[in-house]
Structures are given as C-alpha cells and as structure tokens.
Structure 1
Amino acid sequence: MKAIVSIARILVGVLFIFSGFIKLNDPVGFSYKLQEYFSEPVLDIPFLIPFALLIAIFIVIFELVLGIMLLIGYAPKFTSWSMLVMIIFFTFLTFYSAYYNKVTDCGCFGDAIPLTPWESFYKDVILLVLILIIFFNQKVINPIFPRTYHKWVVFASFMASFAFCYYVLMHLPLFDFRPYKIGNNIPEKMRLPDGADKAEVTYRWKFKVNGEEKVIENKGAYPQIEGEFIGVETSQSGENAIPPIHDFVIEGEEGDITEDILNAEKVLLIVTYNLRSTEKDGYPAVKTLSEEAEQKGYRVIALTASGEDLQNEIKDRLNLNFNFYQTDETALKTIIRSNPGFLVLRKGTITQKKHWFDASNIEL
C-alpha cells in the first residue's frame, strides 16, 4: 500500500503542479474560461463574471501550491481534503460540460494541451481515484525532508507563484501556446494541411436590440448592427478539421480588408477587444506608438468587437489618429491577453507582440 500511495502521490502532485503552472502562465485566458462557465447558458451565475480573474488567480496558485504540499508531505490531512473537494467539483463540472455540450474545452491545461469535454471528464475520474487512495491512506504520507523547512517551502512557493502571476499580468504569458505567437504566419495558420477537409463553422451572434434579443447567423464576420453585443456561439458541421486560425476577419466601412492587412509590408495592429473594459491608462502609449508607426510608413489600425458609437467616442476623446475595425471578440481575446495590446505584422507574419505596458519596447 505504501508503494501504491507513493506512486499516486507523485502522479497527483506533479499533475497539480503542471496544471497549475500552465494556467498560471496565462491567468487571463483561464479567467475567460471561467466566464464561459459562469455565463447564463452554462452554470447561470453571471454575478461571478466580474470576479473571474481574481477567482482564476486564487485557483491556479492554490492548485500549484497544493501539488507541492503533497509532494513534500506537508499537512497531509488539509492537503488531501482540499484536493478531494477540488477534484469532486471539477469532475462534476467536466461531466456537466461534456453531457450537455456546454463548454468545448475545459481549460484544464490552458492552450498547451486542449482536451475535449469527455477527455477532461475521464482525466478527472482517474485523478479522483488516485486522490481517494491518498485520502484514505494519509497516515503513510511521510515528509521527504525535516518538517521545520516545510512552511518555508510552502511560503516560498506561494510568493514565487504570486510574483510570476503578477509578471504575466503586467506583460504577457511567458510561454505562448496560441496560434498567434511570435513567428507564426497568420495566412498559413488559416489553411488546412493538404488533403484535409475543412469543416463549416456557423456563428450565432446575439444582440440586444430595443430591449429584445436578436440572433444573426453567418460564417464569422462580425454583424454590422446597432445594439448591445451579448455573446456568440459556434457550431461545427461534421467532424472535419478546423484550421488553427478560423475566425480572423477584419471588417470596416469598406468591407472585408483581411487580405489587404495580411499582405501589407508593415502593419501595427492595436488590439482592444472591448472598449468599455479597456485600460484607459494604456492609451497615452497607444497614441505615441501609433503616431511613430505612421511616420515610419506602417499601416496602423485598431481591432475591436465594440460598436461604432464607442469607437467614435474614444477616438474623439483621445484624439487618436487611426481607424477602428471590427473583429470577433473571441478571436481578439485569443490574439493577445492585453486590452489594449500591440502586434507588428510583416506580410502576415507576427514579428512583435506586446502588452501596452511594454509599448516602449516595440522596435519599428
């Protein structure tokens, strides 16, 4: 039994540390996933949505530190109880998502290892069995070094996790697993490998217009409609493949300009997915950088999912020298974890990508 508990202890501890670190690398992305769970179509607890980032930070740091506590043998009763409660909750959540097809990716390992809802559920069931073995055999969990050092190890782990979280929030994730990472060519990521059949994806955009909900279906372009944006749902026809980038469309008054932007020699993209929640402190840097880029021959545009009224309001109030264009909010959240943030493109290839806090580090 000691051998079985030791194996379970190592597997669970390492998995908790790995899962926690992957999400800690991108707490904003994990908060988006929590917002999806909190939304009305899933758990229907929208009052938690404004606190999603704080909840995400707490969960990932707690998860990572719990893994370390299990490995070193610190407070086995508290550790095993905490892990059991967490895994029961997440097993229920992944089953609910899989059975009712509510969330297509649980976010357990962020963008590093995407899992289907059923894969997430089976993973949690295996973890539950391992944690139950640990829970009912707490007495055989021995510390790996003197107990006097345990509190310092746990404290140092917490402080290091908090510091790392602060760093990625003020800059960008240290490890980028998304298709929009530096060096990737967007047009290439929009294509499927030779021989693969592309799936048809239908978008259902929801707006509140004059107090009533209106749904518009299309293939991805943000609808030009006067109303409050509520959300968007996607459905896939058949089991065919979807390219890594399948929802990158830039729409303006002149229509779809996606191809023009991706073929341009020098482009500065200012990404601000929501102008209501955008960080106003970042706009002095936005204005300075955009003016410098224009002087050096860059095409400068901003991408947002907000409506024209908000676009014009912020453009006039801050005296901005560039135009806003419409892009899907989910795509913009995927592109960069900053609102606003910057991308530098050369013929569709991402050469630089920065948080607004690091605008001065962009080389034009």
Structure 2
Amino acid sequence: MTLTEFSLIVGVIAIGMTYLMKKKSTHLLMSFLQNFLGVFFIVSGFVKAVDPLGTAYKMEEYFENFYYTFDESPMKAIAPIFTDMAEYAVIISVGMIIFEIILGVMLILGYKPKLTAWLFFLIMVIYTALTGFTYLNGYVPEGVNFFEFSKWGDFAESQMKVTDCGCFGDFIKISAFDTFMKNVVILFPALFFLFKSKWMHQLFSSKTRSIIVGASTLIFLVFSWSNYIWDIPVVDFRPFKVGVNIREQAKAEADAEAAVEIISYICTNKKTGEVVEIPYKQYLKEYKSYPREEWTFEQNKTEPSIPHTKISDFLIQDMDGEDFTDSILNDPGYAFMIVSKGLKKDISVEMMTVQDTTFIQDTIVQPDGSQAIVTKVGAIEPVEVEKEIYHFPEGFVKPFKEKIVPLAQAAKKAGVKTYMIIGMEDPEVAKSFAKEIGADFPIYMADNILLKTIVRSNPGTVLMHDGKILGKWHHRKLPMFDEIKAKLIR
C-alpha cells in the first residue's frame, strides 16, 4: 500500500464519520479534518504498537545520527543527551506510540479542544523538524557536518543516514521526501486547529470523553507491551514472516535486481552546475563529450519488479568467517534457528599464572664440520597475565537453560537440527556462552540489524524447513518440542 492509497481510504472513512455526526458539527471542514487526522494518527500509531521494538530500533538510528552530528559541531555539549536517550529507546518508543494514538482519539472526540490543538501542533513541529533533518541529510556529502551549510552539495539518497522515518513501521515504506512533505502539509490543519479550536466538534459528555481517553491509553499500553515483552508482534509486516521461503525470495530479489535497466544518465557539470539527461543508448555514443574531470554522473534506472528487502542481506558465517548461508538455506530437513541479536554480558579481568618458557638458539659445529642451529629450553618461569572473564546475566541465560537447550536436546533425539545465530561477536565470547548454557549446537554469526528483523525477541526461535519459515516464537511463548512436532513437523 502507498501513502496515497492509505490517505484515500482514510479520507473516505472521515467523510462517512463527518456525515454521521453532522448534527454535532458546527463547522464541517473542521469536523472532517478532526476525523481524517484522528483516524490517520490512530492507524499510524497502531501499526507501530504492533511492533514497538521496530520503532525503538529506528529511534536508536536517529539518536546515533544526532549524536555524531552534534558531537562534531559547536553544540557538542548536548551530544551525550542522545546517547542517554538511546538507552531508553524502547520506553520512548512506547510513549510516543501511545501519545500518537491517544492524540488521534482526542481529535475525533473533541477532547479538551485547546489542549488537543496545542499538543497536535507541537508534535507536528517535532515530526516536521525530524523528517526535514532526515531528508536534508541527503545534501550533506560524506565527511561534512550537517551544520556546515556552505559545504552542502547535490542530493544523493546514499548520503542519508536514516532512509526511512518509520512513520508507519513496516506497514508502509515512504521516502524521506514524501514523509517530510506529508508533515509540512499536515502543519496547515495543525495551525487551523490552533487558531480555531472553538470550532471543534465534541462527542458525548465531558466525563465520557475522559473515560474513553483513559481507557484507550491503558488498552494500547498493554497492547504495546504484549508485542515485545510477552510475545512477538501479533501481525508481522517484516519480510521474514511465517510462510516465506528465504532461499526462493532471495533469488527472486536478485533476479529482479539483475533485470533492472539503465534508462538514462543524468550528467552534472562540476563548474557551471548544468544538468543534462541523456538517454542510455545516446550516452554510449556521446560519453567522450562528457569527461569525468568535468562532469558527475547518476544513472536513472527502472525499478526492480520485486523490491529489495532484508532477505537479500541474509548472510550467515561461522566463527572463522566462512559463509554458511547456502548450507542453512539448502538444508532439506527441519531445523531450529535460535536468534540472538546480541549476547548480554559483563566483562571482568582476572590475573592468572601461566608458565612462560624462554628458548635459546645456538650454533654448533657438526662432526663433519658443518654448522647447525639448535634450540633448547633456557628457563621456565611463572608469569602473571590478564584474562577476560565473561559473565552473562541470569535473566538473559534463564530462557536458554530452561527452554531453548531442552528444546534442542529433544529435537536432536528426533533427528531435528538446532543452530544459533548471534550478532557479530568475539568467538571467545560465543564459546564461553555455549559453555554457560550447556549448548552442544553450533553457533554462527550475522549482522545485528538482520537478526533484529528476523524475530523481535532476544532470544527468539525460528523453525526452518528447506529454506522456509514454518514458525517463530518469543522465548516466553516457546512451546515444548512435542507440541511443535505435532503441529509443524511431518
């Protein structure tokens, strides 16, 4: 679904709502805008409430970008704030999601018009500034700080630090420019609400409106919690949903990318700024007229028939860096894939005594007159050295010991494999963790962002069969092996 299609659907719903409450309305345009933006905010908030961790991960990207932007500017003093905010990204995510949904409810109800108008205006100012910053980063070349305006260059999407605002979670993907313009447009009704709040319709009594707002807050707060604390998202909008064959989808995406054609070249003169778009076949004949010393080039291509997703980035390697992706995706049997985006750990340093051996090399003359170099032990002495000791929190280890390892042991008896994939980590940490939980299954590594996308649980469990995802579970909801076998393993 596109933003335009979504807006049209919301518009039709808002027209119907406005018609039904026309007797309550003193100003039809105001009522329509209340209903339209109310529904808009409720839906955009709801699809994020389905997956609050996804919004938290997006916020972490923003906070990281803000940190480096301000840390390299005269406003360096405020940079650490964003590091602190990143630590509470999940709490901020849930708070923002609930606020957005409840603001939509307040608009439709006409709850405390002046307060609602001010809150709506303030949130739109923040959203517009945020998405404007995201889009304008496309004009900031590599190595240039955002606040060095005189060094900005031509727009390039590759220069953007955050390419998707996450306004609709994974439900709808919107370009940075479209998101920014959407917010600019919504600023106009926000101002209308601010200056004409007395025109807002109000449904029900004041007490009833307060009860609805309070109840909605509680309901959606619990709903958000349920989608990451107690279980994985109730609706999966991500590419790694149950039923998807990763191997086949990755091949389809690769084939679609290979079929992309170059339509034209957009040539920009470095001195004059002149921009010329030349059809591809014509460019092949005239490229000598546009030397690279004088021109920059951008290819204008057709869109792939199947969009690129994180499935194309599904790359798994062992502790030695050897690629195991094909082995995993081409396995015709059943296998449990345990996913952990990061092993939670503390590190302490202990002194330990090791025997340090000193060797001596000497040259001796052989009986035949030739010379030979011999090595012998000079001395063996005890030496104190530092060794890192890894400690894994009990709360993190518990689901492995109580649920995942027993599942793997039961699966092994039934001939079903188990392997674990963790975020990029020191192999020694992985070995220490495997020993801690008593795991006898192999541990591989992959990109952290990929693992966050596969399952919203740390740890999470995925049942695979011949490259296809058959099931996904939060560690709190992981069934016993016999139950999984009865339902999914044939």
Could you say whether these structures have the same fold, taking a TM-score greater than 0.5 normalized by the shorter chain as the test? yes
Relative to structure 1, the CA distance from residue 162 to residue 261 in structure 2 (aligned partners, 3 Å threshold; closer, same or farther) is same
Relative to structure 1, the CA distance from residue 8 to residue 135 in structure 2 (aligned partners, 3 Å threshold; closer, same or farther) is same
**Structural mapping, 1:55-134, within 5 Å:** 55-100=92-137, 101-134=160-193
| Aligned mate of 2:55, from 5, 30, 47 | 30
The alignment status of 1:196 with 2:256, answered yes or no, reads yes
The residue aligned with 1:293 is 411
- Please give the alpha-carbon distance, in whole angstroms, between the structure 2 residues aligned to 1:76 and 1:164: 27
DSSP 3-state at the match of 1:65: helix
- Please give the alpha-carbon distance, in whole angstroms, between the structure 1 residues aligned to 2:327 and 2:299: 29
What is the one-letter code of the residue matched to 1:46? T
DSSP 3-state at the match of 1:192: helix
Q: Which has the larger radius of gyration?
A: 2
Relative to structure 1, the CA distance from residue 74 to residue 254 in structure 2 (aligned partners, 3 Å threshold; closer, same or farther) is closer
Relative to structure 1, the CA distance from residue 286 to residue 259 in structure 2 (aligned partners, 3 Å threshold; closer, same or farther) is same
| Contact 1:182–1:353 (8 Å) recurs in 2 | yes
The residue aligned with 2:341 is 273
The residue aligned with 1:205 is none
DSSP 3-state at the match of 2:312: coil
The alignment status of 1:243 with 2:361, answered yes or no, reads no
- Please give the alpha-carbon distance, in whole angstroms, between the structure 1 residues aligned to 2:433 and 2:299: 39
- Please give the alpha-carbon distance, in whole angstroms, between the structure 1 residues aligned to 2:56 and 2:110: 30
- Please give the alpha-carbon distance, in whole angstroms, between the structure 2 residues aligned to 1:337 and 1:32: 11
- Please give the alpha-carbon distance, in whole angstroms, between the structure 1 residues aligned to 2:300 and 2:58: 25
Deviation at 1:180, TM superposition (A): 0.4
- Please give the alpha-carbon distance, in whole angstroms, between the structure 1 residues aligned to 2:126 and 2:342: 31
Q: Deviations over 1:280-319 (max 9, x none)?
A: 3321211111111212212211011122122111111121
Q: Deviations over 1:182-216 (max 9, x none)?
A: 0111012213369733499xxxxxxxxxxxxxxxx
DSSP 3-state at the match of 2:471: strand
Relative to structure 1, the CA distance from residue 341 to residue 147 in structure 2 (aligned partners, 3 Å threshold; closer, same or farther) is same
The alignment status of 1:171 with 2:231, answered yes or no, reads yes
The alignment status of 1:137 with 2:196, answered yes or no, reads yes
DSSP 3-state at the match of 1:256: coil
DSSP 3-state at the match of 2:336: strand
- Please give the alpha-carbon distance, in whole angstroms, between the structure 2 residues aligned to 1:116 and 1:143: 35
Q: Deviations over 1:59-93 (max 9, x none)?
A: 00111011101101111111111111111011111
The residue aligned with 1:152 is 211
| Contact 1:8–1:133 (8 Å) recurs in 2 | no
Relative to structure 1, the CA distance from residue 251 to residue 237 in structure 2 (aligned partners, 3 Å threshold; closer, same or farther) is farther
| Contact 1:189–1:243 (8 Å) recurs in 2 | no
| Contact 1:42–1:102 (8 Å) recurs in 2 | no
The residue aligned with 1:226 is none
- Please give the alpha-carbon distance, in whole angstroms, between the structure 1 residues aligned to 2:420 and 2:28: 58
DSSP 3-state at the match of 1:176: coil
Q: Deviations over 1:241-298 (max 9, x none)?
A: 4532111111013721111111221110000010027833321211111111212212
| Contact 1:61–1:161 (8 Å) recurs in 2 | yes
Relative to structure 1, the CA distance from residue 14 to residue 79 in structure 2 (aligned partners, 3 Å threshold; closer, same or farther) is same
- Please give the alpha-carbon distance, in whole angstroms, between the structure 1 residues aligned to 2:466 and 2:35: 47
The residue aligned with 2:467 is 348
The residue aligned with 1:217 is none
- Please give the alpha-carbon distance, in whole angstroms, between the structure 1 residues aligned to 2:479 and 2:102: 35
What is the one-letter code of the residue matched to 1:17? I
User: What stretches of structure 2 of length at least 5 have no aligned partner?
Assistant: 1-25, 71-78, 138-159, 261-297, 346-392, 486-490
Deviation at 1:322, TM superposition (A): 1.2
| Aligned mate of 2:247, from 187, 196, 210 | 187
Work out the number of aligned pairs and report it. Answer: 329
- Please give the alpha-carbon distance, in whole angstroms, between the structure 1 residues aligned to 2:203 and 2:259: 52
| Aligned mate of 1:263, from 325, 330, 347 | 330
The residue aligned with 2:448 is 329
User: What stretches of structure 1 of length at least 5 have no aligned partner?
Assistant: 201-235
Deviation beyond 6 Å, 4+ runs, structure 1: none
TM-score normalised by L of structure 2: 0.64
**Structural mapping, 1:300-315, within 5 Å:** 300-305=418-423, 306-315=425-434
Q: Name the % identity.
A: 31
| Contact 1:184–1:349 (8 Å) recurs in 2 | yes
